[in-house]
Structures are given as structure tokens and as C-alpha cells.
Amino acid sequence: MMKYVSTRGYKEELTGAQAIIQGIAPDKGLYVPKEIPKLPFKAEDMIGRSYKEIAKPVIGAFFDDFTDEELSYCVDEAYDEKFEAQEIVPLRKVNGAFFLELFHGKTAAFKDMALSILPYLLTTSVKKEREDKKICILTATSGDTGKAALEGFADVEGTEIIVFYPDRGVSEVQKRQMITQEGKNTHVFAIKGNFDDAQNGVKKIFNDSDFGNELRASGVKLSSANSINIGRLVPQVAYYVYGYIKLLENKEIEQGEHINVVVPTGNFGNILAAFYAKKMGIPIDRFICASNENRVLTDFFNTGEYDINREFYLTNSPSMDILISSNLERFLYEIYEGDTKAVKGLMEDLESKGRYCLADHVKMRLKSFYGGCADASETVESIGSMYKDSGYLMDTHTAVAYKVYNEYKEKTGDKKAALIASTASAYKFAESVAQAIGLEEESSGFEYVEKIREKTGVDIPRGLKNLDKKEILHKGVIEISQMKDTVKTSVK
């Protein structure tokens, strides 16, 4: 049976269900599979299969403690009519690149791909483990995770969900999605800080053993919907496997042919999922890691040094406004070949000094990654030129990826087929997109939504229609220091 261990060496090994419930390890580490499983099928044998038919065995390879019936329930309930695209994940060929459209779920962002299934994985895990406590899902968001998690867990029996978001670090549409969320068990708070502050605050709560014991005594156990939870990360692996199979099916590549993957990322979970897909057996050659002005990951892959002692920028791609990329810790575990002592030392350096540097022999293992970045003006230019050339509308994050991909091609001449993770609907960042395609200035983000539809004819996602007319249900704005007390009062 697959076992999960902490990146920092905590001695206990868990099953998949136990790791999903736990969320984060007692030693502050993240749970990782002791060994990445191999693909349970040949890619060519899955040609013509649906997303659900491909996702189920991929997820099942990681969570082999789930029965076939349990997995079928989780997958079938997650990937249904809540997705507007019949194929769940359309693959669009534009200007010689392949856009893996991950934004056709209820909240119009790629987070739906994992957060549609996580509530079912978690509640199934709770039943399997005979957990008798209420599960409190504690989540920090840079914009998209929050709404997707709220949507997934709203009114799920035996759970409460608390979301913290940076007060001035999300788009107008993203904020309205969260603060209008219905559900008796949903709690949403803006914090006076940035995403890293929110994420660090959540981690401190998880790592406060006295507070955890206090909650457990009152019948509550903490878990997470962030990608620090392995149950959130694993479902993301499935769509890279699916994307490769669709390239085969469309005869864009030959059997066994290598591809590249391009991912806009801040917290490193989405691109780590692609890395796991490669370790499973998908022939991926290069991982093109795209950042905005907060280019800490770009610098890491170019130098082997991770340094957060730098200016923090609020950008037009706010879901990547992150300096502390949590999932990079899981990548360190892989490139240090399971040396948890080394990983723990690097994380301690990051906490105490704000930086760490890879050992020289480990830097050589970064060769499959290319780091690049795009600033706000380059992002807008990328959206505008793509729309002018092809009529294809990108959001700001996908535009960062496309700009870095073009830069990579120019520098290397690499002409392999490239899967670009298209992470959100353009309407979620309507103000920037409207500017990019030449629309006049409007007074609010919601007016831009309608103007974009009028000009482009692109349908507005169901979940974003009339969003500005919904009742605001969550009005809390708190200091970072109030996060723990806010959790205590929310779960009473």
C-alpha cells in the first residue's frame, strides 16, 4: 500500500486517507508519497477515454487505500455538470501552442479541478478512518483557491471552512466571489496583509500543538484545502496525463514523443503536479516555470538560490503574488532524493534567514526546468497580441505563461509540442484584459465583464454572471494577529 511521509522526517508513515485528513505533518513538513507510482496504463491505450476515465486510475494509483467503489464515487461526483465544458478540460490549439483549459468549473479557475473532488476525498477518508471530530478546513488564498474551496465544502456535513484572503491582493471579481458565498459552514475574512502573511498565519495555526489540542477537546480537527494537502495536489496530476493523451488522440504527437509543459505558478503546486506526471511515466522534457514580477521562482531555477528578501509586488496576475512557494518543499524532497534532514535544514534556513541555497550536486538536477517571468506591461501586451492575431482570449496568468513560453522558444529553438496550463477565465481579471484588448476605462470590474463579452462574444462563465448583484455575506477584515482567535470563534 502507498505510504505518505513528511518532507522533514517525522517518523510516522500514513495511508492516503490519513494524510488527506491530517493536511500537514506534526513537524511542519508536507506529506509526500514515499515513491511516486507508475502510470497504471499505457497512454496510447487510453485514447478516446473521457476525463473521468483517465483521472480515476491516476488518482487511484496514489490513493490505493481507497476501494474502486470509493474512487468512482469521488470522481463521478466531482466531474459532472458543474463543469460547463462537456469534456471537462478542453485542449485548444492556438498559434502552435496547446492550451489546456482548466477553468470551466464553477468558479472559473483551475483550482476547481482539485477542489471539486477534495471534499469527496476528505469525507470518504473521514469515514474510512472512523474520525468522529468535525473537520475544519483552514485555507489561505491568493484569489482562486478560496472561492473554489468554499464552493466545494459549502454545507458539506461534518465540516466548517474558513478562508483568509489578502484585503488588497485579489481582483474585484475574485473578492466578490468569496464574500457572497452561501453556506451555513462558510467563513471568509480579509486580512490586512499579503498572501504570504495569510499563508504563514495558517501554517502557524497548524503548527500550534496547544491550539490544536484545544480544538480537538472541543470536537474539532484542522485540515487544509490548500495544496499543502496531498488530497488537493494529486488530482492535479491527472490533467497533465489527460493532456498528453489528448495530444496523442489528436495526432499532434507520436507515441512516446516528448513534450514540454508551461505553467504560470506562484505556490508551485500546479507545476509540481506536472513533475509528478513525468515521474509516473508521461514523457515531459522541459518544465517552463512562469512567474510575474515576484520572480522568486525564476531566480531559483536560474541560480539554485531561493531568496525572499526582496520587494513584494501587487500585480495584474494576483494569484501569483507570492514569495514563499510552499510546494517547492515537496520538489526539494525529490531532488534531494528523500533526504529529509537536508530538506528540514533548508526550510529552517528559509524561516530564519529568508533564503537557502541548493548544494552544488543538487543544482544539476534543475536542468529540466526553465524559469522566466513577465511584468505587468508584458502581460497586457501578450493578451492583446494574442487576441489580435487569433481571437483567443487569455487571462493575465495564462498570458504570463504564454509570454515566457515564447521567450523560451526564441532562446532555445525548442519546437516540441507544449502544453500550456490555462488557469482562469479572462473574466476573472476583466479590468486588465479589457485594457489589453483596447476597451475604454469603466468604473468597476463588473462593467468590464459586460464590455468584454460585447466585443469578443466569449461567454461569461455561469458563476460570474450577475455577481455584482449578489448579497455580500462576509464582511470581516482582521489583523494578521487575530487569525487564531477568528478560527476559534468561527468553529463554535
Per-residue pLDDT of 54-79, as tens digits, reads: 999 999 999 999 999 999 999 999 99
Encode pLDDT of 374-394 as tens digits.
999 999 999 999 999 999 999
Q: With 90 as the cut, is the pLDDT of residue 445 above it?
A: no
Of 307, 308, 298, the closest CA to residue 372 belongs to 298
Distance CA 218, CA 160 (A): 14
Contacts of 427 (CB under 8 A, 6+ apart): 108, 173, 433, 449, 452, 458, 460, 461, 464
The average pLDDT across 324-338 equals 97
pLDDT band at 437 (very low <50, low <70, confident <90, very high): very high
Mean pLDDT of 364-373: 97
**What percentage of the chain reaches a pLDDT higher than 70?**
100
pLDDT at 259 over 90: yes
Nearest residue to 486 (alpha-carbon basis) of 198, 171, 294: 198
**pLDDT value, residue 485:** 96
E strands present in 132-185: 134-140, 159-166
**185 CB contacts (<8 Å, ≥6 apart)?**
153, 154, 155, 156, 159, 160, 161
Mean pLDDT value of segment 474-489: 96
Q: What percentage of the chain has pLDDT greater than the value 90?
A: 97
Could you confirm whether domain 91-108+231-462 is CATH 3.40.50.300? no
Buried b (16+ CB within 10 A) or exposed e, 146-160: bbbbbbbbbebeebb
| pLDDT value at residue 12 | 97
The residues, any chain, with a CB within 8 Å of residue 141's CB and separated by 6 or more, are: 147, 149, 163, 164, 165, 170, 178, 195, 198, 226
Mean pLDDT of 74-96: 97
CA distance 5 to 1: 13
The three cell numbers locating residue 476: 470581516
Residues 25-49: what's their mean pLDDT? Answer: 97
Instruction: Give the DSSP H or E segment for 369.
Output: strand 369-373
3-class SS of residue 370: strand
pLDDT for residue 198: 94
Parse the chain into domains and list their residue ranges.
91-108+231-462
Confidence tier at 168 by pLDDT (50, 70, 90): confident
Do residues 461 and 108 touch, judged by C-beta distance below 8 A? Answer: yes
Per DSSP, the three-state class of 256 is coil
Q: Which of 371, 370, 394, 384 is nearest to 94 (CA)?
A: 394
Rounded average pLDDT over 86-101: 97
Reported as a pLDDT band with limits 50, 70 and 90, residue 492 is: confident
Report the chain's mean pLDDT, rounded to a whole number: 96
The rounded distance, in Å, linking the Cα atoms of 364 and 238 is 28
Average pLDDT value for residue range 205-228: 93
pLDDT of residue 226: 87
State the maximum Cα–Cα separation within the chain, in Å, rounded to a whole number: 60
pTM: predicted TM-score of the whole model, two decimal places = 0.95
> Which of 423, 173, 96, 113 lies closest to 292, judged by CA?
423
Task: Using the predicted structure, report yes or no on whether residue 444 has a pLDDT greater than 90.
Answer: no
